Structure 1
Amino acid sequence: RGVDIAHMPPARLARHVAYVPQEHRQPFPFLVRDMVLMGRSPHMSGWFRTRKKDADIAAEAMERIGIGALADAACNQLSGGQRQLVLIARAMAQQTPLILLDEPTSALDFRNQLAVWKVLREVADQGVAVLVCCHDPNHILWFCDRAALLHEGSLVAEGSVKEALTQDMLQAVYGKECVRISTPSIDMVCPQRAER
């Protein structure tokens, strides 16, 4: 919107951008519900002035990401994957026009990876810009509209997923051992079978 974020006050920036780090160690025993509710802080006039609306938004984010049952658990007692889900729910509760995520599913099992990516896709379909750093090209193929492919710190391809993740580009980045397979029902990147 033409504003240099380096000069934007943090509270204002937090109303525009939510960030999910790859990993976050929580030394304090905050409850999951409180951690997710912290995502509402840019919209509150003070931490002790929680409105019902804020609590409802946080509860909805927890349910949507599948951690409603963990609401009363202490964050510092959760697994790495559960902590990732809490951070994603917190970002969703923040209700910003842009969410930045760094490897949001790296600590999750395959079922939860797919569940998170489906929710992120739904959020994007609702008009939120979702920008994800991801090392698994399949997640990008399955859930994203656009891709920027980096290799050794340089941008090597950008555009629609179909344009950016070509066989040639994937092999340039990941090596000749990978192949992109496209069928009417699935598009994926797989390792080539080694000769036996």
Structure 2
Amino acid sequence: MMPEPLLLTDFGAMRGGRALADPLTVRIEPGAVLGIVGPNGVGKSSLLGAIAHTGISSYGEISFGDHNLTRMSARQRAKHIALMAQDHGAPGELRVRELVGVGAWASERKYPSMAVDRALDQAGIAHLADRSYAGLSGGQRQLVQFARVLAQQTPVVVLDEPTSALDLFHQGAVERIMRDLGEEGRIVIAAIHDLSLALNACTDVLLLHPGGVAHHGPPQEVLHPERVFDAYGVHTSIHTTEQGRHMLATADPRTDFTSIRKDT
């Protein structure tokens, strides 16, 4: 499979017949790990759903190479793009291996059982393969859904808050896998609340503002303290550890909220 770019042209999500943000024209190159960040309610999940064409209304066009994804059937699209949504619901009677297998089935992998085994290993949940999905914790369910997306083996992977329910160890594992997918030449698009994760895991960041304005570019450029304050109303600073990890620190919330009250 030749690496191809993903192009959003005057694209956006809609709710109730209204555009949720300004139209986006963004070219996402193979190997990119794009973090979509912004305050609650700004439309990150809706944008991901529109990109994956999962019933969210959209406008504009989205293409992958020469393929117009907005005009494809669901079966054709499943070979190009996979989505892990925030809703981790699934029939509780399914075993983990069966649910992960749905991903391999959706994209018609040539060797589905091998794709499932690899995805279970990647997500670190091979030991859960025969467990009932209903008996898992929230974090375990999130990892199962992540493995389902990995088993789909698509060139574009879309993740909605992939680490929200995970402990520190598994957060690190998911971050590593996201970067590994990029190094394989795939495109990863993830909605992320943890801005430190965005700084470390992503090659690019798309910052959505409540007013509809968006900034796209390298993480440390887009997550500059002034832009973060404009979007979130919180003062921040970026620090780099001796190991090269970037950490975004916030000011004392009492100080921030006091200054906001005085300014409004």
TM-score, normalized by the shorter chain, greater than 0.5? yes
Alignment pair present for 1:95 and 2:153: yes
Return 5+ residue gaps in structure 1 as ranges: 46-50
More strand by share: 2
Structure 1 residues 9 and 192, CA gap change in structure 2 (3 angstroms): same
Query: RMSD of aligned C-alpha atoms?
Result: 1.9
Instruction: Give the one of 132, 137, 149 matched to 2:195.
Output: 137
TM-score in terms of structure 1 length: 0.88
Asked whether the equivalents of residues 225 and 235 of structure 2 are also in contact (C-alpha less than 8 Å), the reply is no
Aligned to 2:213, what secondary structure does the other structure show? strand
Structure having greater relative contact order (Cα 8 Å, sep ≥ 6): 2
Q: Please tell me whether the aligned partners of residues 25 and 76 of structure 1 are also in contact (alpha carbons under 8 angstroms).
A: no
Q: Which residue of 1 aligns with 2:246?
A: 187
Residue type at the aligned position of 1:70: L
Residue among 74, 81, 84 paired with 1:10:
74
Secondary structure at 2:206's aligned position in 1?
Answer: strand
In the TM superposition, residue 43 of structure 1 has moved relative to its aligned partner by: 4.3
CA-to-partner distance for each residue in 1:50-98, whole Å, 9 max, x for gaps?
x7x3111111110111100000011122111111111111111111110
Amino acid at match of 2:248: V
| Structure 2 residue corresponding to 1:148, chosen from 206, 226, 231 | 206
Identify if the C-alpha distance between structure 1 residues 160 and 72 changes in structure 2 by more than 3 Å, giving closer, same or farther: same
State the SS of the aligned residue for 2:67: coil
How do 1:104-143 and structure 2 match up within 5 A?
Answer: 104-143=162-201
1:32 aligns with 2:90: no
Under a length normalisation based on structure 2, what TM-score does the superposition of the two structures give?
0.67
Query: Aligned match of 1:68 in 126, 131, 139?
Result: 126
Return closer, same or farther for 1:33/1:177 CA change in 2, 3 Å cut-off.
same
